[in-house]
Amino acid sequence: MGNIKSSLQECVELDDSVVSLAAETPYGYKQKFILVGRRLYLLLDGWTIEHGKYIITLKTGTYESNLECKLFDSKGMETPVSLEEIKGSGSYLLSPHPNLREGRYTFLMNYGEKCVCRINVYCERLKKNDNDEQLAAAIDSEPVEDKKVLANGSAGTEGGLLVHSVTFPDSKRLVSNDPFPSFIQDGPQFRTQLATWESTLFVLRSYLKTLYKRSAKLKELLYLTSKAFSGVSDAFSDIHDLLKDHPLSSSYMDIILASSTLCISQSRRLSYKASITHEELLRPLQEYLNTIDLKTITNNKKLYHDQAKEYYSYVGKHLSQRTDSALLPKRVQFELQRYDYFYSLLNYIMGSHSRDFAVMLAKFQMYIDPIKKPTIIQLARLYRANYPKFIKLTTEERERLSNVNNYSDLNDFYHLSTDNTSSTPLKEGLLWSYRNNGWHKQWVVLQGSQLSEYSDWKTEAKVRSRPSVSLTFACVKRSAKKPNGFDIITTNSEARSFQAESEDEMKQWLQVLQSAVGVMNIEDSDETRDPLTIVRNTDPSNSTCCDCHSDKLVEWISLNLLCVVCINCSGVHRSLGAHVSKIRSLTLDSFNTRESMDLLKYVSNYYVNSLYEVDKPPLEPTATTAERTAYITEKYADRDQKRLGGSPSRLRVSLIKAIHLESIYLLQKCVAEGVLLSDSYWAQAYDDESLFQYSLKHYEGTKEHQIFTVTEFLVLNGMPVDDFTESPDLASKWSPAQLEYWKSKYQSHHCKNVQVSPQKIPEAVYSYIARSPTSPVVNSYKRWSIGSSPGSNYHFSPPIIGKRHLKFPKKPKKINQDE
């Protein structure tokens, strides 16, 4: 394999004994090369991909079956290329793929196991702007002469890399790619951008100094070469003067004179280029260098970091002591300081001095190479003309930032509105996190259902301060102690507390966090309101039966257990009674209340199975009815072993905590462990406030749109519904939504206690007894008592009434003969 002996040898390696590679286009084409990380790359831009093509010619024989052309990206993945045979020519047409993405590539041609060509390729697609038509017209107005040259600039020969020379302006990027960087919120991305610009300016100034030294050396060499040409011209002139009077051929004398003239012409041209190098390169380069003052940059950097440290220290001390309106002026002042430093760095790179330098460079190119199109000057001037627009935008943006009156406007300035797609919530930002007995700044990232905290937010945000937490079964609740705080409690009782700087930021976090745990807007489309679709999208485990793990006809839900079962297991659930499992069809029954729809988003077979464990092998989908009955009865109805998990008092405390946290998952755990929802303890312990009323105060949603999911779940599991009588006293204590819900539950669950006389039905072994929960049973017979009826101010759902009032008579005691 022979390398082309030129500066392009790192770009192209070609075995010219086997194959020749020519580059052709309908309009002619000039190779463009760029240097990327000390390696030279052939540049493919949008124009080249559309019009450019390569001709591969095999020199000896026919090798169609062994010739392979492949294009690999920077990761080593193969990318499609277009290779078509030119009939009757023994050559092939190779074209870049029209969907080629930006990036680095390697083009390889293999003949058998031998690599005959390797080209480094860099693809860059340019975006069009309003000036494209104007620039294209200017370019097309001047035709360019075509000529064949080698890649190294020498005359073309067979087997070399043949190209056609045409000037296509790479400098088009000067105008078409004039970005206006966005000013983003303080965080890892912003700090990384600042650090990159700071280091870039130090390196840029070093490179500019190197360019200045080499340009000065070039000017000196041009003057010396000009002087040398002048000396050679003088020598030719002396020879001509010496021989002009001798009888020599006039042609010979003319050649000597022409040589002298040529040398003096070259001397003058080189002297002119040396002068141009000084005026159009060295002088503007020195001016640009003088604007990049490293000492000033260092001082501004230190000042900014001191201001940031002072601001965050102030917020940390007064976060819970001051209102949003008190903290806002300090925040706006810091944002303006951050803004000024941001654009002071940006101005070094794309400010007026750099644009002036670009214009001078364009002039330098035109003077050095007069054949260059004047378009390069036009483009440079257009680039400089964009600077007033740059200044106008930055001024308007700063003024808008200084006029911010509240945190909502500030968040709108940074476009921090949360993503409303509940399936993939994403948010990140600075929050104060409570750990190690103190509040610490953390960069908090929510990706999907994973919440992560990073302590190195001033750099790259890669070091987690503690393990990520899954929000799938978590409870998100606004903190009652901190003004802008909220808490996250997982099912294993791990609690994490956070504080936002403002109420607006706190509300945004609550909104997206609730989306992550499955709280979905009820006003969705018909498709997303489908109960079966909601349940299956809530948890992957809901696609199979909770009991037998069958995947066929899993369309039945237990409303109080919050699990889904197949049609075979649903019959067994029904046979246990509605007090154990309330079965409904997800396809046939209606779920027309906000509470019932909201409960669907908490259905999880995985979580239910973790609560209701049985000491039996799991059911198979092919189990018999008898096997299903035994398994499901032991799993849900015979739960005495669950009640042994804690004392009644501990279960009551857990229940109150679950209601306070508004956690359906913790409530499921309490019910599974056997907490008594109808226990008279609640009225005695909480100043006659019933469990129903306590739960009614803990709703989801907003004050305008209240959803009583907690109360609905507890009522489904047997919690009594209080008597409802409309009165001014009730209206003053409860909202209209609470009263409406209370009234609807009372009407659907109200049922009077009925006493059945044993004399009328002597065969009966039960009777309904209405008594106070604390009054003794005055009866000469001892009977089994399953629960007792509370006072008349409580009402049960029908299944619970039957269970709580059952009395089983026993044989009376034997009377002592001696009495």
423: pLDDT strictly greater than 70: no
- DSSP helix/strand/coil, 568: helix
Q: Which of 70-74, 158-162, 225-229, 546-550 has the lowest mean pLDDT?
A: 158-162
619: pLDDT strictly greater than 70: yes
Rounded-to-integer distance, Cα 156 and Cα 399, Å: 61
Answer yes or no: is 415 within a domain. Answer: no
In degrees, rounded to 5, the angle at the alpha carbon of residue 72 between the alpha carbons of residues 67 and 75 is 150
Answer yes or no: is 277 within a domain. Answer: yes
Question: In terms of domains, do 571 and 711 share one?
Answer: no
Give the residue, 391 or 33, on which the prediction is more confident: 391
What's the DSSP call for residue 477? E
Band (pLDDT 50/70/90 cuts) for residue 791 is: very low
85: pLDDT strictly greater than 60: yes
The predicted-structure confidence for 246-280, as pLDDT tens digits, reads as follows: 777 777 888 888 888 888 888 888 888 888 888 88
Average pLDDT, the chain: 73
Rounded-to-integer distance, Cα 699 and Cα 701, Å: 7
List the beta bridge partners of residue 296. none
Q: What pLDDT score does 217 carry?
A: 94
Question: In terms of domains, do 630 and 684 share one?
Answer: no
Q: What pLDDT score does 211 carry?
A: 92
Band (pLDDT 50/70/90 cuts) for residue 789 is: very low
Domain end call among 488, 516, 544: 516
788: pLDDT strictly greater than 70: no
Question: In terms of domains, do 599 and 727 share one?
Answer: no
Give the residue, 388 or 808, on which the prediction is more confident: 388
Q: Which of 68-72, 221-225, 688-692, 813-817 has the lowest mean pLDDT?
A: 813-817
**Top mean-pLDDT range of 49-58, 68-77, 319-328:** 68-77
Band (pLDDT 50/70/90 cuts) for residue 459 is: low
Secondary structure string (H, E, C) spanning 373-431: CCHHHHHHHHHHHCHHHHHHHHHHHHHHHHCCCCHHHHHHHCCCCCCCCCCCCEEEEEE
Question: In terms of domains, do 274 and 153 share one?
Answer: no
Q: What pLDDT score does 66 carry?
A: 66
Note the Cα 555 to chain centre separation in Å: 35
Sequence-distant (≥ 6) Cβ neighbours of residue 463 within 8 angstroms = 454, 455, 456
Sequence-distant (≥ 6) Cβ neighbours of residue 66 within 8 angstroms = 111, 112
Q: What pLDDT score does 583 carry?
A: 92
Question: In terms of domains, do 502 and 381 share one?
Answer: no
| Listed residue (139, 129, 44) closest to 377, CA to CA | 139
- Tell me how crowded residue 404 is: count the other CB atoms within 10 A of its CB: 19
Band (pLDDT 50/70/90 cuts) for residue 225 is: very high
Mean pLDDT confidence for 488-493: 73
| Listed residue (559, 630, 547) closest to 591, CA to CA | 559
The predicted-structure confidence for 112-168, as pLDDT tens digits, reads as follows: 777 778 888 877 765 444 443 443 333 333 333 333 333 333 333 333 333 333 333
Mean pLDDT confidence for 306-324: 76
Answer yes or no: is 222 within a domain. Answer: yes
**Top mean-pLDDT range of 679-683, 688-692, 707-711, 800-804:** 707-711
Q: Identify residue 36 by its one-letter amino acid code.
A: V
Q: What pLDDT score does 570 carry?
A: 92
Mean pLDDT confidence for 52-60: 72
Residue 208 maps to which CATH number?
A: 1.20.1270
Answer yes or no: is 257 within a domain. Answer: yes
Give the residue, 729 or 165, on which the prediction is more confident: 729
Strand 583-585 relative to strand 556-558: parallel, antiparallel, unpaired? antiparallel
Rounded-to-integer distance, Cα 647 and Cα 652, Å: 9
Q: What pLDDT score does 84 carry?
A: 77
Range of the domain at 759: 751-819
Answer yes or no: is 521 within a domain. Answer: no
Rounded-to-integer distance, Cα 397 and Cα 404, Å: 11
Question: In terms of domains, do 613 and 739 share one?
Answer: no
Mean pLDDT confidence for 576-583: 89
What's the DSSP call for residue 155? B
Q: What pLDDT score does 564 carry?
A: 96
Question: In terms of domains, do 359 and 215 share one?
Answer: yes
Q: HSE (CB half, 13 Å, CA atoms) of 99?
A: 2
What's the DSSP call for residue 601? G
Question: In terms of domains, do 432 and 499 share one?
Answer: yes
The percentage of the chain sitting over the pLDDT mark of 70, rounded to a whole number, equals: 69
Give the residue, 749 or 135, on which the prediction is more confident: 749
Question: In terms of domains, do 284 and 372 share one?
Answer: yes
Q: What pLDDT score does 761 carry?
A: 34
Answer yes or no: is 411 within a domain. Answer: no
Domain end call among 584, 609, 638: 638
What's the DSSP call for residue 720? P
Our count of domains for the chain comes to 6
Q: Which of 300-309, 515-524, 611-620 has the lowest mean pLDDT?
A: 515-524
Question: In terms of domains, do 702 and 729 share one?
Answer: yes
Domain end call among 451, 481, 516: 516
The percentage of the chain sitting over the pLDDT mark of 90, rounded to a whole number, equals: 9
Residue 84 maps to which CATH number?
A: 2.60.40.10
For the chain, helix (H) and strand (E) counts, in that order, are 27, 30
Band (pLDDT 50/70/90 cuts) for residue 647 is: confident
Strand 706-707 relative to strand 794-795: parallel, antiparallel, unpaired? unpaired
Band (pLDDT 50/70/90 cuts) for residue 104 is: confident
Question: In terms of domains, do 687 and 709 share one?
Answer: yes
The predicted-structure confidence for 280-293, as pLDDT tens digits, reads as follows: 889 989 988 998 88
Q: What pLDDT score does 215 carry?
A: 92
754: pLDDT strictly greater than 50: no
The predicted-structure confidence for 319-371, as pLDDT tens digits, reads as follows: 666 666 677 888 888 888 888 888 888 888 888 888 888 888 888 887 777 66
Question: In terms of domains, do 21 and 84 share one?
Answer: yes
Mean pLDDT confidence for 372-388: 76
Answer yes or no: is 524 within a domain. Answer: no
| Listed residue (695, 691, 674, 673) closest to 683, CA to CA | 691
Q: What pLDDT score does 221 carry?
A: 94
Answer yes or no: is 181 within a domain. Answer: no
